[in-house]
């Protein structure tokens, strides 16, 4: 079916082409076009089943009105919570911008000319990049170019990146436990690995900073175990041996809390009966 043109709509509505164009592009009020002409143009567009050419509009505006969310094909390197995705969608919705999501294998992504090509093929103005670990070094250099507008999400990079302050958050949490009177506080988390997420190291260092500032002896416990229960059980034994039955534990994952509570319960000083 041939595409309906502005000329056809203008003829059907009994107006000139510029008037039809302004009405269909939402500029009727700004250009002070009468209500009767607006109604005539919109009615003609409906009768002729007019569909606006999005590509042509984007070319005229110099903007597609869309942002791309680029994620790794490796699930472990593309972690994103529902809350983060929801927040992205809400921020774009408030600005009348829509979201395009996609995944591209790392090897293809760092190929010559791929990133500008993604912008064209996805018809997006810029990229939100969701790589939480195992970030290809070549990709960092490519995305730092001014020809590829991109922001990294949850990645600790020197520029064009947003991420939580895991160091500060853990330090504040530990200081809160100290303020409550706890003195023997252990830290339970995975071992920091170079190509894993930055938070593994920052959370531990935040705990260490708070403990050392309070002149308390830090106790860092790690486990290579795959399951929270095994990790918590081994940690329970380690805490008793290493720190003399700590009264508080700083965890890196909420999933470890229930099994840790089951596997280990600090002793409680009870008053002596007379």
State residue 129's pLDDT score: 86
Question: Which residues contact residue 212 at a Cβ distance below 8 angstroms, ignoring those fewer than 6 apart?
Answer: 218
216 and 241 housed in the same domain: yes
The percent of residues above 90 in pLDDT, for the chain, comes to 14
State residue 122's pLDDT score: 75
CATH of residue 156's domain is 3.40.50.2300
Digit-coded pLDDT (tens) for 102-160? 777 777 766 666 666 676 677 788 888 887 777 777 777 767 766 668 888 888 887 78
Digit-coded pLDDT (tens) for 189-238? 777 665 678 888 898 999 999 999 999 989 887 765 444 444 544 555 45
Among the candidates 131, 162, 193, a domain finishes at: 162
List C-alpha distances in Å: 223 to 235, 236, 238, 241. 7, 11, 10, 15
* 109 φ/ψ angles, rounded to the nearest 5 degrees: -60, -40
Among the candidates 162, 177, 209, a domain finishes at: 162
d(CA 100, CA 114): 17
Residue pair 50/21 in contact (Cβ under 8 Å)? The answer is: no
Number of domain units in the chain: 3
Digit-coded pLDDT (tens) for 25-44? 777 888 889 989 999 998 99
Instruction: Report pTM.
Output: 0.58
Residue 98 domain boundaries: 63-162
Residue 153 lies in a domain: yes
Among the candidates 162, 191, 213, a domain finishes at: 162
Digit-coded pLDDT (tens) for 63-86? 567 888 888 777 777 778 888 889
170 and 254 housed in the same domain: yes
């Amino acid at each position: 079916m041939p595409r309906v043109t502005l000329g056809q709509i203008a003829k059907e509505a009994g107006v000139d082409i510029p008037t039809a164009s302004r009405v269909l592009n939402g500029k009727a009020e700004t250009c002070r076009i009468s209500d009767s002409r607006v109604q005539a143009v919109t009615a003609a567009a409906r009768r002729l089943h007019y569909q606006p050419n999005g590509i042509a509009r984007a070319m005229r505006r110099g903007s597609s009105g869309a942002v791309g969310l680029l994620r790794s094909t490796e699930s472990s390197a593309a972690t994103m919570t529902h809350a983060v995705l929801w927040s992205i969608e809400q921020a774009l919705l408030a600005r009348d911008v829509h979201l395009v999501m996609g995944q591209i294998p790392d090897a293809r992504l760092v190929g010559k000319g791929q990133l500008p090509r993604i912008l064209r093929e996805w018809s997006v103005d810029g990229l939100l990049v969701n790589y939480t670990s195992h970030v290809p070094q070549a990709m960092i250099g490519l995305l730092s170019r001014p020809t590829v507008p991109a922001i990294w999400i949850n990645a600790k990079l020197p520029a064009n990146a947003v991420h939580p302050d895991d160091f500060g958050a853990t330090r504040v949490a530990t200081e809160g436990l100290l303020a409550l009177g706890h003195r023997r506080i252990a830290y339970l988390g995975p071992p920091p690995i170079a190509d894993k997420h930055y938070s593994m190291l920052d959370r531990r260092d935040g705990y260490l900073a708070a403990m050392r500032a309070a002149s308390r002896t830090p106790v860092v416990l790690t486990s290579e175990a795959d399951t929270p229960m095994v990790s918590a059980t081994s940690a329970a034994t380690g805490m008793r041996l290493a720190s003399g039955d700590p009264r508080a534990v700083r965890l890196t994952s909420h999933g470890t809390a229930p099994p840790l509570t089951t596997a280990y319960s600090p002793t409680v000083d009870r008053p002596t009966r007379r």
